[in-house]
A and B are shown apart, each in its own frame.
Chain A
Amino acid sequence: MNIIELKNITYKYSVGTPFEAVAVDNVTLTVEKGEFCGIIGHTGSGKSTLIQHLNGLVKPTLGEVYIDGQNIWSKDTDIREIRFKAGLVFQYSEHQLFEESVYKDIAYGPKNMGLSEEETDKRVHYAAQSMGIGDELLERSPFDLSGGQKRRVALAGVIAMEPEILILDEPAAGLDPIGRESVLSRISDYHKKNGTTILLVSHSMEDIVKYAEKVLVMNKGKVFCHAPTDEVFARQDEIVGIGLDVPQITKVTMKLKEKGIDLGSDIYTVERAKERILQYKAKGSIC
């Protein structure tokens, strides 16, 4: 079942002024329920604008958006219902914290949904636990926490709404390696446990390869490709061609190939590279 359906979405900035520009250009896209989809693309490739279409923060100039089979811009749709269904976490989401305690901040979303105290309490605890926020932090001020903790509180604030789709714009940007790992692995665990559809925007190919099942590549406002991770990274040359990065380990094997050591062109994790190198050493060649 397709939980997200975009039909010929076009979005133009500043229509009717000299600054008019196309941010998203005739995008048609479907995302299945339960999919973990990574989104990559240059700065300015339209990723951020695209994801803001999914919860109705941005209205497409042309085209239709369907969330869970519902046209979000039809008259009888309550846009706030859509926002609870498609939870969006912005880049540097810790900037949205405002309450006096972590608990209250996480409860802001559920309260806006009009849930009962009891249900809110349950959701806050579950969301906090999913993001690794211990009970001892719940009564602290969010402004006293470390950067990584703040980020996880902000994520919990959206997760507590229990959206069917969780859209994350660079959730690990600006964190140290331990912080990155702790945020991303928790998102991945949450996905596995609850089957939530996840869209993850990232600049790090390593992260995409590690967590995503499918990858959406955006280029100049258009969908370059949307396919399982294997298929996308098998097209390394094209991806490099549009100016995007490939995982570091893939770069290494590409260089090795140039030097005459062909380990195969489907390597993008260190584990697989290790396997192939051992294979290569044993047999003197692949296949």
Chain B
Amino acid sequence: MLKDITIGQFFPGNSLIHRLDSRFKIIMDIAYVVMLFLTSNYIGLAAAGLFMILIYVMSGVGLGLVFKSLRPIMPLIAITCILNLFFIKGDGEPLVNLWGFITIYTEGITTSVFMAVRIMFLIIGMSLLTYTTSPIALTDAIERLLSPLKKLHFPVHELAMMMTIALRFIPTLIEETDKIMAAQKARGANLDTGGLIKKAKALIPVLIPLFVSAFKRANELALAMECRCYRGGEGRTRMKQLHSGAKDYIALLIMALMIAELVLLNIYVPYLGIPYITP
């Protein structure tokens, strides 16, 4: 049950995408989001989608996983669709008109489909970052990218360390939750049935032991770090340095070209027979 969540998971591999510098990957991930929100017509969206599929194929991450990662955000997509469907007013006659106040226009349909596809592309594309980058490389990259903030006394290293630790302990906590749930079930706990309040109350015997052991573990970890003379980021060197090479700059260039292409598409083909989407 808890193990089915794939968002944020890492799938080790050795593809070109896996080997790209994680700092560049983060920048490109952000660029990808910008790109999706810049594009305002279906041709641009299709181009972005094709680009994303191409990268997925290069990374060797199974497409089955992609759909699994979409499942938790389905409600969000559904709500967006419904809102757009009913509230976008078009110029012509409404397609459906129920009792005068529920109306659906052609523009409403096209917009809601556009929005749904855009959100799906967003989640699928962004998931690829964590699928192909190890948590350590990811936090390393965040630390490096944020390092200019150190000048402003922002605790960049501490933030990165906190993220590393949090990511590291997610599987441990999941395993522990399963164990405690089994132990309380063996004592007759009823975790699956009953109303919302009853269910929430039934979770207390699971949550308290979980918190107790999480705090205990945090304490032990802090002690162990202290024993090894951990003193934060000042003057700390790394075992694995991040290296950027030609492939990273080429990837960045491709990304920039993609954005340029989409901007041009926006300028020269705003309509294409398909309504322009106003943000």
Chief secondary structure at chain B's binding surface: helix
Instruction: Tell me which residues across on chain A come within 8 A of B182, comparing CB atoms.
Output: 52, 57, 90
Judge if B189 is at the interface, Cβ distance under 8 Å.
yes
Closest to B212 in A: A143
B186 contacts A108, C-beta separation under 8 Å: no
Known: A52-B182, A90-B182, A143-B212. A96 touches B187 (CB 8 A): yes
A96 to B183, CA, bound (A): 7
User: Contact at A98–B186, with CB atoms within 8 Å?
Assistant: no
Q: A97-B209, A143-B212 are in contact. Are A109 and B179 (CB under 8 A)?
A: no
Chain B positions within 8 Å of A158 at CB level: 186-187
A83 partner residues in chain B, CB cutoff 8 A: 185-188
Q: Which of A84-98 contact B (CB under 8 A)?
A: 84, 87-90, 93, 95-98
A95-B179, A95-B180, A98-B204 known; A57 and B209 CB under 8 Å?
A: no
Looking at the assembled complex, report how far the CB atom of B248 sits from the nearest CB atom of chain A, in whole angstroms.
32
Do B205 and A98 have beta carbons less than 8 Å apart?
A: yes
CB of A93 within 8 A of CB of B183, answer yes
Interface size on A, residues (CB 8 A): 23
* B59 interfacial contact with A, CB 8 Å: no
Chain A residues whose C-beta falls within 8 Å of the C-beta of B184 in the assembled complex? 96
Q: How far is the CA of A112 from the CA of B183 in the complex (A)?
A: 14
Within 8 Å CB of A143, what residues of B? 212
Q: Are B205 and A88 in contact (CB-based, < 8 A)?
A: no
Partner of A98, one of B176, B188, B209: B209
Q: List B contacts of A112 (CB < 8 A).
A: 187-190
Q: Mark A72-111, 1 if CB is under 8 A from B, else 0.
A: 0000000010011001111001011110000000001100
Evaluate contact between B213 and A109: CB separation under 8 angstroms.
no
- Closest residue of A by beta carbon distance from B176: A95
Q: Which residues of B contact A197 (CB under 8 A)?
A: none
State in angstroms the CA–CA spacing of A161 and B185 once bound together.
13
Asked if residues A95 and B213 are in contact (CB atoms below 8 Å), the reply is yes
Residues of A within 8 A of B213 (CB): 95
- Residues of chain A with a CB closer than 8 A to B176's CB: 95
Question: A161 to B180, Cβ gap below 8 A?
Answer: no
Task: Please tell me which one of the listed residues A87, A89, A96, A109 contacts residue B209 in the complex, with CB atoms under 8 A apart.
Answer: A96
A106 → chain B closest CB, angstroms: 10
Q: Is the CB of B187 within 8 A of A98?
A: no
Closest B residue to A112 using CB positions = B188
In the complex, what's the smallest C-beta–C-beta distance from B55 to chain A, in angstroms?
Answer: 24
Tell me which residues across on chain A come within 8 A of B185, comparing CB atoms.
57, 83
In the assembled complex, the Cα of A87 lies from the Cα of B204 at a distance in Å of 21
Question: In this assembly, does A10 line the interface, its C-beta being within 8 Å of a C-beta of chain B?
Answer: no
Given contacts A95-B179, A95-B183, 14 further A-B pairs with CB under 8 A are A52-B182, A55-B186, A57-B182, A88-B186, A89-B186, A90-B182, A96-B209, A97-B209, A98-B209, A108-B187, A108-B205, A109-B187, A109-B188, A157-B187
For this complex, 10 residue pairs linking A to B, each with C-beta atoms less than 8 Å apart, are A57-B182, A90-B186, A95-B176, A95-B213, A109-B188, A112-B187, A112-B190, A143-B212, A158-B186, A158-B187
Closest 4 CB pairs of A and B: A112-B188, A98-B208, A96-B183, A88-B186
